[in-house]
Amino acid sequence: MLSFSRICWALAVSLISTLSSLAQADDACQPCCPSKESILKMSRSELFCLFRSLPEGEVPRAYYQGTVIGRGPALLRPVTAGAVSVVWQGKYVMPEEGLMVNKVCGQAKVTAEYFIDNSWLDGKSATIFDYRCSSAKFARDARDEVRPVCPGLYLGLMWIRQESGCPKPANFFLLERRCRLTSSATEESCSASSNESSSAAIPETESSYVEDHVEGKGSVTTDPSQTP
């Protein structure tokens, strides 16, 4: 006959073991903060899964260095990203003005409207850069959706509107916060440093568009009935 104390001890050990296993399983399901390097190596299916798992969060006012995540074999992705970086370097994000301006060939060009909306991928909230009323006509079928990965690092998914009315996911990209946007500092102080205490001014190439937008002359609204 087992003594009562031995039975209690066996039950206690079993309970502790069970709770420990549950805790480990719960820890395994906790979202991690993947590095830029690990994200760049992910397959397209892994990127979709990662984007779905990311939390809601706005993209703060700043200049962000951009990196396109190339498609195809992993060995060729750095080549693709390097080729694209010659044309596209990043984004100037201005939530207060409801505006985002891309840095293209070293200049601020190709504008988009900034707002928060549901993602076309999973219906959850994301920061949207919508090019429907962009200053660049060739980009008006595009829409970016962005979510935070880690502090200062964001994952974006570009969509292209189709004539069928069903948008198609195009490329993933990463945004790394480099510096604040002000009206006094120079762009060079931003691009040369990754310190968020540094700052940069918006180049003059898009100043007239920004002024029109802020004054309401070029403001745009999103028509929910046109959203796929």
Q: What digits encode the pLDDT tens for the residues 181-226?
A: 875 433 444 544 444 455 555 555 444 444 454 333 333 333 333 3
Structure tokens at 108: 């601020």
Whether 193 is covered by a domain: the verdict is: no
Report the number of distinct structural domains present in the chain: 1
How many residues are recorded in the chain?
228
Per-residue pLDDT averaged across 62-80, rounded?
Answer: 85
- Residue-level pLDDT at 103: 94
Stronger pLDDT, 51 or 80, i.e. the higher one: 51
Question: Can you tell me the distance from the alpha carbon of 110 to that of 102, in angstroms, rounded to the nearest whole number?
Answer: 6
How much of the chain is in helix, strand and coil states, percent to nearest 5? Answer: 35, 30, 30
Q: Is residue 221 part of a domain?
A: no
Q: Which of 17-21, 78-82, 188-192 has the highest mean pLDDT?
A: 78-82
- Kindly compute the dihedral angle of the four CA atoms of residues 73, 79, 81, 87, in this order, to the nearest 10 degrees: -140
Residue 199 is assigned to a structural domain of this protein: no
Q: What is the secondary structure of 106-133 as a DSSP string?
A: TEEEEEEEEEEEE-TTTSSEEEEEE-TT
- Does residue 75 form part of some domain? yes
Pair of tokens at residue 92? 């100037």
Q: Give the pLDDT score at 165.
A: 87
Q: Map tokens 């009935």 to a residue.
A: 225
Range of the structural domain that residue 53 is part of: 36-177
